[in-house]
Amino acid sequence: MPELGEQYSRRNFENSTDAISLADGLAAVLTFRLRRADDVRAEARILVSELKALGHELFSWDESPDRETWGDDYIRPKGRRIIVELRFPADDAPSASVDFGPWPTPTPAILCPRCQTPMTATSLRVAGVGHGHAASREVNVEVFLGEQDRRTFSAGQASRGLQVPGLWCSSCAGLWLPDTTRVGWT
């Protein structure tokens, strides 16, 4: 299949007066290429390589069995960003979407209830390691998150775990978890 043309270069996106139409055109070409491919996953890798060769700094943002999302570096963001989503569901035709525009304005950081320092997103992970043996007995694991919020899981033959979103304060070393029994933090 023919390679993506220079009209879809990063420079052309940055200089375009109608980046939305340019993004829609690129999405149509990507969709066409995915639908004509014998191996959709291989074609997706080729398309990302071609976009990188055209000056797009693409990083894998997300991947699942039926979709890939690629976008600009969010650690060192430029003025505008591109997001390329390649979809290949088992029960439908492959497709692509492209979004080019300014980064969303960041939401203000949540302040630590203890010291009023901005916190960063994190999570609490608890793992029960199973032994993989049919004779391994199941062990219940109870995790108390606050006074009344209790989570339970079991591990034995298989490893299982629990992950809860939270916020971390580097100033006072506090881990704050949402309290599901009332509004606030534990």
90/136 same-domain check: no
Q: Which domain holds residue 98?
A: 6-102
Owner of token pair 């993989």: 132
75/124 same-domain check: no
133/89 same-domain check: no
**Angle value at C-alpha 45, between 85 and 65, nearest 5 degrees:** 60
List per-residue pLDDT tens for the chain, 186 residues long: 668 999 999 999 999 999 999 999 999 999 999 999 999 999 999 999 999 999 999 999 999 889 999 999 888 888 899 999 999 998 899 999 999 999 887 778 889 988 999 998 888 888 878 777 777 788 887 777 666 677 787 877 777 777 778 888 999 988 887 766 665 555
pLDDT of 178: 73
Q: Are 158 and 150 in contact (CB under 8 A)?
A: no
Query: Is 110 part of a structural domain of the chain?
Result: no
Query: Is 152 part of a structural domain of the chain?
Result: yes
Instruction: Work out the burial of residue 141: count CB atoms within 10 Å of its CB; fewer than 13 is exposed, 13-18 middle, 19 or more buried.
Output: middle
83/131 same-domain check: no
Last residue of a domain, one of 102, 136, 159: 102
Instruction: Work out the burial of residue 74: count CB atoms within 10 Å of its CB; fewer than 13 is exposed, 13-18 middle, 19 or more buried.
Output: exposed
